[in-house]
Amino acid sequence: MRDRRSVIERAETEGVELVRFLYADHGGVIRGKAVSRTRLGERLASGIGHTVAMMAMNMLDQLQEVEQFGPVGEVRIMPDPSTFVLLPYSPGAAAMVSDLVQLDGTPWGACPRTFLKEAIAELGSEGYALVAAFEPEFTLGRRLPDPAGGGDRLVPLDDSLCYSTTGFDLAHDYAITLVRALETQGLRVEHYHPELGHGQQELSIRHAPALRAADNHVLYRETVRGVATRMSLWASLAPKPIADQAGNGAHLHMSLWDPSLHTNLFDERPELMSRFVGGLLAHMPALTALTCGSVNSFRRLAPRMWSSAYAVYGPDNREAAVRVCSPVGEEGTANLELKPSDSSANPYLSLGAVIHAGLDGIRRELDPGDPVLVDPDTRPGAYPRLPATLDEALDALEADPLLMAALGPLRAGAYLAVKRSEAAAFKERDAAFEVARHMGVF
């Protein structure tokens, strides 16, 4: 684990000129500021000053009027030295994932990373640790102006078939460069393949303890886009960057372990997994507001899309919100897959909320009911439908006492204001505008 001194030494040795302090905002956007190498030691101790208002900024860069998030007030972007990485796609630059802290260094009530830390601690108080991994998809292509004068459009790299070897060949140079960039940053690549949509790729990295898993997803998102830019390409992790193509998820895989991380408790205690599923399903409508955090998300969350549209679970059921994954032959591989999850969400809020929901199921010994062994859409009215719009999901979140209490009034108020503003803004524009803006941001 790196400390401040080793970060400074590494930056000097590697000739780093700028170090980015990164955080994820309530709009799901990765933002940050950078410090020069000559001031790195100072800023590792003090952080970089930052207006509180930025956590009331939506993905359209429209600042919302939220109490305690106006022009008066400051926090610090405080980097975590253990997350220091060189950026292979930006020679001379490095990055660290950061917390947002108050001027005295104490946690700030609107910091998303702190929210996840607190959820992890709450889970730990019950004797559990969460291991997780996001399984992201993204669309690779070129960003071109719209001939009709509208927003830029994403023209996919290819029109190859799902899992086809043609797709491997056409994206080969990018895929190899991306794998090397991720491995350089300590993100261990597990699997890669061309997906169903034109230009769509799926590349997954190995699971990790919950905080590291969320940090990894921030670095993953940055690397996917950064490598593409360096190669004169454009990569989008938006849920639906091309309206008539398959959507991009970031399915969340998770399992509970003993705190030593030696034993997967889902392997040994089926009732524990069942209760965790019960908690997820009980809070699923509200969870969707945090795990699928954009207007664009709900173009993907529709029946027959293999993305889940119903609050059900089942063994290897890829149309269920929670899939119970079959073991793959290794010990410790039992895990759950949350399907309604994508990269427009803030990973810290998303994963933290999942922990709170699952823990509620354990504490209340919630029964998830019978598993669903068919496509739930083939039985109309039999199963509860997930929210169909961001507004519906936000309504469910506001009506969920557990998750609202976990978020706290400061964070919940800002998140709801930001997301309500996005829902309202996109209602006033056409679908092409929505798709173009999400394609360019995520």
- The CA distance from 77 to 216, in Å, is 18
197: its two tokens: 């949509």
Whether the CB-CB separation of 176 and 170 falls below 8 Å is answered with no
Closest CA relative to residue 225, chosen from 346, 138, 156, 297: 138
Backbone angles phi, psi at 71, to 5 degrees: -75, -15
Closest CA relative to residue 133, chosen from 212, 200, 194: 212
Closest CA relative to residue 309, chosen from 387, 389, 395: 387
Could you give the angle at the alpha carbon of 217 between the alpha carbons of 408 and 326, nearest 5°?
100
**E strands, 178-231, where?**
189-194, 200-205, 208-209
Q: What is the pTM of this model?
A: 0.96
10-27 pLDDT, tens digit each: 999 999 999 999 999 999
Give the Cβ contact number of residue 270 at 10 Å: 12
304-332 pLDDT, tens digit each: 888 899 999 999 999 999 999 998 776 67
Q: If 0-12 CB within 10 Å is exposed, 13-18 middle and 19+ buried, where does residue 377 land?
A: middle
pLDDT in tens, the chain (442 residues): 679 999 999 999 999 999 999 999 999 999 999 999 999 999 999 999 999 999 999 999 999 999 999 999 999 999 999 999 999 999 999 999 999 999 999 999 999 999 999 999 999 999 999 999 999 999 999 999 888 877 889 999 999 999 999 999 999 999 999 999 999 999 999 999 999 999 999 999 999 999 999 999 999 999 999 999 999 999 999 999 999 999 999 999 999 999 988 899 999 899 999 999 999 999 999 999 999 999 999 999 999 888 899 999 999 999 999 999 998 776 678 999 999 999 999 999 999 999 999 999 999 999 999 999 999 999 999 999 999 999 999 999 999 999 999 999 999 999 999 999 999 999 999 999 999 999 999 9
